[in-house]
A and B are shown apart, each in its own frame.
Chain A
Amino acid sequence: MTDFALNTAPFSVLVTSRSPALRAALTELYPLSLLSKVDANTIYDFSLDVRRRWAGWGRPFHVSSGQQHFRMTDKAQLVPVFEWGLNWCIASYQHQYLAIHAAVLEHGGKALILPAPPGSGKSTLCAVLMQQGWRLLSDEMCLIDLSSGLIWPYVRPVSLKNQSIALIKQWYPDARVRQITRGTTKGTVGYLLPSDLSWQAYQQPAQPAWVVFPQYQPEQTELMLTPLPKADAFMHLAYNSFNYNVLADEGFTALSALVQRCATYRLEYADINQVIRELNALC
Chain B
Amino acid sequence: MLARPLLDFLTNPGHFVQQADGARWTAFLQLARQHGLTARCYYMLQSQGLMSQVPEQIRLHGLSAARYSKKQQHSLFYELQQLEAVFGRADFPCVLLKGAAYRALALPMSYGRLFADIDLLVPKAQLRSARDKLFFAGFAELPLSDYDRAYYLTWSHQNPPLQHYQRGTVIDLHHHIYPPASAKHIDIQVLLEHATPLPGSAFLVPTLAHLFLHAAVHLFYQEETHRLLKDIIDLQDLLNEVQQQQQLEFIWQQAQQMQVQSALVDACQVLLTLFDNQAARQLLTQHSVVRRQRLGASLVLAMLTGTGMTAWAARQLWFLRGHSLKMRWHILLYHAVAKPANGLRQLWRSKLKPR
Interface residue B74 (Cβ < 8 Å from any Cβ of A): yes
Q: Given A43-B55, A45-B57, answer yes or no on A93-B64 (Cβ-Cβ < 8 Å).
A: yes
The contact of B26 among A14, A67, A245, by CB within 8 Å, is A14
Q: Are B25 and A43 in contact (CB under 8 A)?
A: yes
Q: Which of B63-99 contact A (CB under 8 A)?
A: 63-65, 67-68, 70-71, 74
Q: Given A43-B55, A65-B33, A94-B64, answer yes or no on A248-B70 (Cβ-Cβ < 8 Å).
A: yes
Interface residue B21 (Cβ < 8 Å from any Cβ of A): yes
Interface residue B29 (Cβ < 8 Å from any Cβ of A): yes
Q: Are B29 and A45 in contact (CB under 8 A)?
A: yes
Q: Given A41-B22, A246-B68, answer yes or no on A93-B61 (Cβ-Cβ < 8 Å).
A: yes
The contact of A248 among B33, B60, B65, B71, by CB within 8 Å, is B71
Smallest CB–CB gap between A256 and chain B, Å? 18
Complex contacts, A94 vs chain B, CB 8 Å? 64
Q: Are A43 and B26 in contact (CB under 8 A)?
A: yes
The contact of B30 among A41, A65, A246, by CB within 8 Å, is A65
Q: Are B34 and A96 in contact (CB under 8 A)?
A: no
Q: Are B61 and A47 in contact (CB under 8 A)?
A: no
Interface residue A33 (Cβ < 8 Å from any Cβ of B): no
Q: Are B26 and A95 in contact (CB under 8 A)?
A: no
Q: Are A67 and B34 in contact (CB under 8 A)?
A: yes
Interface residue A239 (Cβ < 8 Å from any Cβ of B): no
Q: Are A43 and B30 in contact (CB under 8 A)?
A: no
Q: Are B61 and A247 in contact (CB under 8 A)?
A: no
Interface residue A42 (Cβ < 8 Å from any Cβ of B): yes
A-side interface residues, number (CB < 8 Å) = 24
Q: Are A245 and B57 in contact (CB under 8 A)?
A: no
Smallest CB–CB gap between A257 and chain B, Å? 18
Interface residue B31 (Cβ < 8 Å from any Cβ of A): yes
Q: Which of B25-74 contact A (CB under 8 A)?
A: 25-26, 29-31, 33-34, 55, 57-58, 60-61, 63-65, 67-68, 70-71, 74
Q: Are B22 and A42 in contact (CB under 8 A)?
A: yes
Closest to A247 in B: B67
Q: Are A43 and B58 in contact (CB under 8 A)?
A: yes
Q: Given A41-B22, A43-B22, answer yes or no on A250-B29 (Cβ-Cβ < 8 Å).
A: no
CA distance A144 to B21 in the complex (A): 30
* Chain A 238-275 near chain B by CB (<8 Å), digits 1 or 0: 00000001111010000000000000000000000000
Interface residue A44 (Cβ < 8 Å from any Cβ of B): yes
Complex contacts, A247 vs chain B, CB 8 Å? 67, 71
Smallest CB–CB gap between A152 and chain B, Å? 12
A-B contacts at CB below 8 angstroms, number: 65
Q: Are A245 and B71 in contact (CB under 8 A)?
A: yes
Q: Are B21 and A40 in contact (CB under 8 A)?
A: yes
Q: Which of A78-115 contact B (CB under 8 A)?
A: 93-96
Q: Are B67 and A66 in contact (CB under 8 A)?
A: no
Interface residue B23 (Cβ < 8 Å from any Cβ of A): yes
Q: Are A96 and B63 in contact (CB under 8 A)?
A: yes
Q: Which of A37-51 contact B (CB under 8 A)?
A: 38-47
Complex contacts, A39 vs chain B, CB 8 Å? 22
Complex contacts, A42 vs chain B, CB 8 Å? 22, 26
Complex contacts, A245 vs chain B, CB 8 Å? 71
Smallest CB–CB gap between B99 and chain A, Å? 18
Smallest CB–CB gap between B12 and chain A, Å? 20
Closest to A67 in B: B34
Complex contacts, B226 vs chain A, CB 8 Å? 67
Q: Are B22 and A93 in contact (CB under 8 A)?
A: no
CA distance A245 to B26 in the complex (A): 28
CA distance A46 to B25 in the complex (A): 11
Complex contacts, B74 vs chain A, CB 8 Å? 248
CA distance A44 to B30 in the complex (A): 9
Q: Which of B225-239 contact A (CB under 8 A)?
A: 226
CA distance A53 to B147 in the complex (A): 32
Q: Are A95 and B64 in contact (CB under 8 A)?
A: yes
The contact of B33 among A43, A93, A95, by CB within 8 Å, is A93
Q: Are B55 and A96 in contact (CB under 8 A)?
A: no
Complex contacts, B25 vs chain A, CB 8 Å? 43
Smallest CB–CB gap between A39 and chain B, Å? 7
Smallest CB–CB gap between A16 and chain B, Å? 10
Complex contacts, B58 vs chain A, CB 8 Å? 43
Q: Are B70 and A66 in contact (CB under 8 A)?
A: no
Q: Are A66 and B33 in contact (CB under 8 A)?
A: yes
Interface centre among A39, A43, A45 (most CB of B within 10 A): A43
Complex contacts, A45 vs chain B, CB 8 Å? 29, 57, 61
The contact of A250 among B26, B31, B57, B67, by CB within 8 Å, is B67
Smallest CB–CB gap between A85 and chain B, Å? 14
Closest to B26 in A: A44
Q: Are B26 and A47 in contact (CB under 8 A)?
A: yes
The contact of B21 among A41, A248, A250, by CB within 8 Å, is A41
Complex contacts, B67 vs chain A, CB 8 Å? 95, 246-248, 250
3 pairs of A and B residues whose beta carbons are closest in the complex? A95-B64, A40-B23, A95-B67
- B interface vs A, CB < 8 Å? 21-23, 25-26, 29-31, 33-34, 55, 57-58, 60-61, 63-65, 67-68, 70-71, 74, 226
A-B contact pairs, 21 of them (CB 8 A): A40-B23, A41-B22, A43-B25, A44-B22, A44-B26, A47-B26, A47-B30, A65-B30, A67-B226, A68-B33, A68-B34, A93-B65, A95-B63, A96-B60, A96-B61, A96-B63, A245-B71, A246-B67, A247-B71, A248-B74, A250-B67
